[in-house]
């Protein structure tokens, strides 16, 4: 090719034409010819019934509103955690997404990335507990999908085989730690795996740590440590004792071998297939067990054990997280998003949600109505009863704590389980991460 | 300025060369240089991804230098790359040699070697999750047949075995790629070179030393670069699904550490510092062989 003025001119003309065509193709048209308003929703496949409910709600809404189109996508918990953070950073978050309220979402709301909902949703329809978990000051910043108190579910047949009878406990609804340890030993003696566990995601094992810390120290010690107020610290004795508690359980053989390398879904499979006698988990375990267990599978539940010598006013506390839906502050269609999400808070929809997905509703009056009508799953009704009688509730730590100590705490899950870090060192590391 | 063959270039030829290279350089700059500079910029700052960032100089790098977790992740990367270089690459070369010699009859072996590459990383990782499962995995089942007792090793669930298990899985996946690279290189070696050599010697060793290996210098370089850069890059997907850096950080690569610091712990400055270190390490390892081989490129005529 000869490089002269003519060829350069031709090349420049060609470049301009190509660039113009490219821009025309990629840029949005200035005028949209009556296309429906697009809303994107990211949800979590909590269980099959949950997914079925939400897909149904989306389809019904789309059919009833030809001028609005909700696109439904779903991602598992771990993928969602990273995806949402990356999207918020890049400004490409969807209109609605599933997440857990906590320090991260509070900061994002205050930075103007998460929308307050008071002006687009009937926030007064939500229960006090639901609003408390989803509020930043006066603003409600998320829709609480359900309250998720964790209890220990147990396989009746395996308990019988192991010679464990909860009715012989001082309180059949809540054993003491001594009673639970005795039950674990009996089950092991009968060749039965006591607890289901799969910890590649790190948080399942830490459920025990969080619950134990609460029993030893109470919610005030936790909040003081998290907020660094009133001299609070993660070096408090209750955190160290929590580490000792979980390591004792591992030494006792309460969990299956190699649990640090197996995925969360294995937990529900171990329990529902009769390979483990107990499962400490939120109420989604009810749906998952009903979906996966064979016909005739019978199970019941009790609260996390009380710990002798623990904090006196913490023995009836419950770990009760909230899963929620958030709305982007940069959504182009806030009114339409509000219209869609308002469907969820309608009493009839909320009742259906509770019955179909075995979830504790956060809409005023629905929980009581459904229980009174006898349509609530009897196990869910029992869990709700425990919750109503609980002293305090506390959120899952991986959401409640600021990101840095939350991640450090999760990273300690597997070393604690393996015994490669001492409880004292674990507590010290969380403290260092919380106050760098 | 001189051209590739040492000839002097005129101004017009130089301008033509630069103009023709411009689109490629623009792409390189956009996808490589600009992100690298942005990473370096953030590496010098403290940023949670939400609020305003603040300049902190080299504090992130100092923190990395004194963090055992960083050194452990670097060591894991080195172990992965090192093991692959001393086992997978020579083995891939040997298999490629066999396939090359058995061109007419090696179709089945070729398909077997290339099979892992047909799978996506996700599918391959799930396959190995099933192989390594402590209770229902294929590997424990095979060992239980060979030795007395019920073998229930937690290959991915124990710090002792997880790294080795991950290395084997990743080597299995990328083995076919390296074999293909060597096979393609061997196919391009003119037969005359072997004919000339056979006039003096019929030994395989002489063929390898005097013809095959010298002619495959660039393929060896490509393999080397893929192994080194891959241990910091595309292996992440595999490891992320298999162990996500666990248990207890025993398989944590620098890339996973960066992802966690950025997207989970909200420390984007530190995460950027880790990526800058990754770039520096990879460049420092691969740049010298590239320059050396480019300078001593052999032309046989």
Of all residues in chain B, the one with the smallest CA distance to A417 is B248
Do A313 and A330 fall within a single domain? no
Nearest to B51 among A111, A201, A259 (CB): A111
Residue A11 inside a domain? The answer is no
Yes or no: domain B44-297 corresponds to CATH 1.10.3720.10 = yes
B283 CA to chain A: closest CA distance, Å? 27
Closest CA to A202 of A419, A362, A430, A407: A407
pLDDT per residue as tens digits for the range B46-95: 998 888 899 999 999 999 999 999 999 999 999 999 999 999 999 999 99
List b or e across A232-259, with b for residues whose CB sees 16 or more CB atoms inside 10 angstroms: bbbebebbbbbbebbbebbeeebbbbbb
Q: Output the pLDDT for position A2.
A: 61
pLDDT per residue as tens digits for the range B211-225: 888 889 889 999 999
User: Does residue A261 sit at the B interface (CB-CB below 8 Å)?
Assistant: yes
Q: Output the pLDDT for position A41.
A: 98
Angle, CA of A221, A224 and A229, to the nearest 5°: 145
Q: Output the pLDDT for position A31.
A: 47
Residue A5 inside a domain? The answer is no
Do A345 and A237 fall within a single domain? no
Do A405 and A379 fall within a single domain? no
Closest CA to A177 of A22, A355, A303: A303
pLDDT per residue as tens digits for the range B235-285: 999 999 999 998 999 999 999 999 999 988 889 999 999 999 999 999 999
Asked if B248 lies within 8 A of A414 by C-beta distance, the reply is: yes
Do A298 and A421 fall within a single domain? yes
Chain A residues touching B15 at Cβ < 8 A: 3
pLDDT per residue as tens digits for the range A271-329: 999 999 999 999 999 999 999 999 999 999 999 999 999 999 999 999 999 999 999 99
Report d(CA B113, CA B292) in Å as an integer: 31
Chain A residues touching B140 at Cβ < 8 A: none
* Best to test chain A binding among B9, B10, B46, B157 (most A CBs inside 10 Å): B157
| Token code pair at residue A396 | 């899952």
Q: Kindly tell me if the per-residue pLDDT of B6 is higher than 70.
A: no
Residue A385 inside a domain? The answer is yes
Residue A79 inside a domain? The answer is yes
Q: Where are the CATH 1.10.3720.10 domain residues in chain B?
A: 44-297
DSSP label at residue A273: T
ipTM: 0.80
Asked if B244 lies within 8 A of A407 by C-beta distance, the reply is: no
CB-based burial of residue A301 (10 Å sphere; 0-12 exposed, 13-18 middle, 19+ buried)?
buried
Do A202 and A107 fall within a single domain? no
List b or e across B21-40, with b for residues whose CB sees 16 or more CB atoms inside 10 angstroms: eeeeeeeeeeeeeeebeebe
| Token code pair at residue A17 | 């034409």
Q: Kindly tell me if the per-residue pLDDT of B300 is higher than 90.
A: no
DSSP label at residue A36: P
CB-based burial of residue A27 (10 Å sphere; 0-12 exposed, 13-18 middle, 19+ buried)?
exposed
Do A163 and A312 fall within a single domain? yes
Chain A residues touching B132 at Cβ < 8 A: 261
Closest CA to B208 of B96, B288, B104, B85: B96
Q: Output the pLDDT for position B206.
A: 84
Q: What is the mean pLDDT of chain B?
A: 89
Chain A residues touching B129 at Cβ < 8 A: 263
In this structure, are residues A317 and A219 in contact, taking their beta carbons and an 8 Å threshold? yes
Residue A186 inside a domain? The answer is yes
A12 CA to chain B: closest CA distance, Å? 12
Question: For every residue of A99-134, which 3-state class applies, written as one string?
Answer: ECCCHHHHHHHHCCCECCCCCCCCHHHECHHHHHHC
Do A165 and A261 fall within a single domain? yes
| Token code pair at residue B228 | 């080194």
Other beta carbons within 10 Å of A343: 15
Residue A191 phi, psi (nearest 5) = 75, 25
Report d(CA A50, CA B275) in Å as an integer: 39
- Please state whether beta strands A318-327 and A393-394 pair in parallel, antiparallel, or not at all (unpaired): parallel
Q: List per-residue pLDDT tens for chain A, 436 residues long.
A: 566 777 777 777 777 777 777 776 666 555 455 789 999 999 999 999 999 999 999 999 999 999 999 999 999 988 898 899 999 989 999 999 999 999 889 999 999 999 999 999 999 999 998 998 899 999 999 999 999 999 999 999 999 999 999 999 999 999 999 999 999 999 999 999 999 999 999 999 999 999 999 999 999 999 999 989 999 999 999 999 999 999 999 999 999 999 999 999 999 999 999 999 999 999 999 999 999 999 999 999 999 999 999 999 999 999 999 999 999 999 999 999 999 999 999 999 999 999 999 999 999 999 999 999 999 999 999 999 999 999 999 999 998 898 889 999 999 999 999 999 999 999 999 999 999 7
Asked if B243 lies within 8 A of A261 by C-beta distance, the reply is: yes
Do A55 and A97 fall within a single domain? yes
Domain total for chain A?
A: 2
Closest CA to A114 of A127, A103, A125: A103
Residue A24 inside a domain? The answer is no
Q: Output the pLDDT for position B74.
A: 96
Do A245 and A302 fall within a single domain? yes
User: Does residue A269 sit at the B interface (CB-CB below 8 Å)?
Assistant: no
Do A292 and A172 fall within a single domain? yes
Residue A303 inside a domain? The answer is yes
- Please state whether beta strands A96-99 and A139-140 pair in parallel, antiparallel, or not at all (unpaired): unpaired
In this structure, are residues A291 and A218 in contact, taking their beta carbons and an 8 Å threshold? no
Q: Output the pLDDT for position A373.
A: 93
CA-CA-CA-CA torsion sign (A129, A239, A81, A280)? negative
Do A201 and A298 fall within a single domain? yes
* CATH code at position A107: 3.40.190.10
Do A234 and A327 fall within a single domain? no
Residue A108 inside a domain? The answer is yes
| Token code pair at residue A403 | 């990101």
Chain B residues touching A418 at Cβ < 8 A: 158-159, 247-248
Phi-psi region of A28 (alpha: psi -120 to 50; beta: other; left: phi over 0): beta
* Range(s) of the domain holding residue A263: 151-319+396-434
In this structure, are residues A423 and A250 in contact, taking their beta carbons and an 8 Å threshold? no
């Amino acid at each position: 090719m000869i490089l002269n003025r003519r060829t350069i001119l031709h090349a420049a003309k060609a470049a301009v034409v190509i660039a113009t065509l490219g821009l025309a193709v990629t840029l949005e048209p200035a005028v949209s010819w009556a296309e429906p308003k697009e809303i994107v929703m990211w949800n979590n496949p909590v269980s099959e019934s949950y997914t079925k409910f939400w897909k149904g709600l989306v389809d019904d809404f789309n059919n009833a509103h030809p001028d609005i189109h909700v696109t439904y996508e779903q991602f598992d918990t771990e993928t969602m955690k990273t995806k949402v953070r990356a999207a918020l950073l890049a400004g490409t978050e969807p209109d609605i997404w599933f997440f857990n309220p906590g320090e991260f979402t509070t900061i994002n709301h205050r930075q103007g990335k998460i929308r307050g909902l008071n002006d687009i949703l009937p926030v007064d329809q939500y229960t006090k507990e639901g609003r408390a978990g989803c509020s930043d000051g006066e603003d409600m910043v998320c829709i609480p999908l359900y309250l998720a108190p964790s209890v220990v579910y147990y396989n009746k047949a395996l308990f019988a085989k192991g010679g464990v009878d909860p009715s012989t406990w001082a309180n059949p609804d809540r054993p003491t730690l001594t009673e639970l340890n005795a039950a674990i030993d009996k089950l092991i003696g009968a060749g039965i795996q006591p607890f289901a566990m799969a910890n590649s995601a790190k948080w399942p094992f830490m459920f025990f740590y969080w619950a134990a810390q609460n029993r030893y120290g109470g919610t005030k010690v936790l909040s003081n440590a998290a907020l660094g107020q009133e001299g609070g610290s993660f070096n408090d004795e209750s955190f160290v004792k929590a580490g000792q508690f979980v390591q004792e359980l591992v030494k006792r053989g309460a969990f299956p071998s190699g649990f640090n390398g197996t995925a969360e879904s294995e937990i529900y499979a171990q329990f529902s297939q009769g390979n483990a006698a107990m499962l400490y988990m939120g109420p989604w375990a009810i749906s998952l067990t009903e979906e996966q267990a064979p016909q005739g599978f019978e199970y019941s539940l009790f609260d996390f054990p009380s710990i002798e010598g623990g904090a006196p006013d913490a023995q009836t506390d419950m770990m009760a997280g909230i899963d929620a839906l958030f709305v982007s502050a940069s959504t182009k269609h806030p009114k339409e998003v509000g219209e869609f999400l308002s469907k969820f808070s309608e009493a009839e929809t909320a009742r259906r949600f509770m019955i179909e997905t075995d979830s504790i509703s956060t809409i005023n009056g629905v929980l009581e109505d459904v229980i009174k009508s006898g349509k609530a799953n009897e196990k869910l009704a029992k869990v709700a009863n425990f919750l109503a009688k609980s002293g305090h509730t506390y959120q899952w730590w991986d959401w409640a704590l600021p990101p840095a100590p939350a991640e450090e705490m999760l990273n300690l899950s597997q070393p604690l389980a393996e015994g490669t870090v001492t409880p004292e060192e674990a507590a010290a590391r969380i403290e260092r991460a919380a106050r760098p | 300025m001189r051209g590739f063959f040492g000839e002097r270039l005129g101004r017009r030829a130089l301008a033509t060369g630069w103009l023709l290279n411009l689109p490629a350089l623009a792409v390189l700059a956009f996808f490589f240089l600009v992100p690298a500079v942005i990473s370096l910029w953030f590496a010098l700052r403290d940023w949670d991804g939400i609020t305003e960032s603040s300049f902190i100089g080299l504090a992130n790098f100092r923190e990395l230098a004194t963090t055992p977790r960083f050194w452990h992740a670097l060591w894991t990367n080195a172990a992965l790359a090192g093991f692959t270089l001393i086992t997978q690459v020579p083995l891939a070369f040997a298999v490629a040699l066999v396939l090359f010699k058995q061109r007419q009859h090696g179709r089945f072996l070729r398909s077997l070697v290339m099979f892992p590459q047909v799978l996506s990383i996700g599918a391959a990782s799930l396959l190995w999750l099933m192989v390594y499962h402590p209770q229902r995995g294929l590997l424990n089942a095979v060992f239980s047949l060979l030795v007395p007792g019920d073998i229930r090793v937690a290959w991915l669930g124990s710090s002792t075995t997880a790294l080795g298990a991950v290395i084997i899985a990743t080597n299995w996946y990328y083995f076919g790629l390296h074999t293909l690279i060597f096979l393609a290189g061997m196919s391009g070696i003119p037969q005359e070179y072997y004919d000339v050599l056979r006039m003096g010697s019929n030994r395989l060793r002489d063929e390898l030393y005097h013809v095959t290996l010298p002619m495959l210098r660039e393929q060896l370089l490509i393999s080397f670069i893929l192994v080194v850069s891959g241990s910091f890059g595309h292996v992440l997907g595999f490891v992320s699904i298999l162990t996500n850096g666990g248990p207890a950080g025993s398989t944590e690569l620098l890339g996973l550490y960066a992802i966690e610091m950025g997207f989970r712990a909200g420390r984007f400055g530190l995460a950027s510092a880790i990526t800058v270190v990754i770039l520096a390490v990879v460049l420092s390892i691969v740049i010298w062989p590239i320059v050396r081989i480019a300078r001593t490129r052999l032309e046989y005529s």
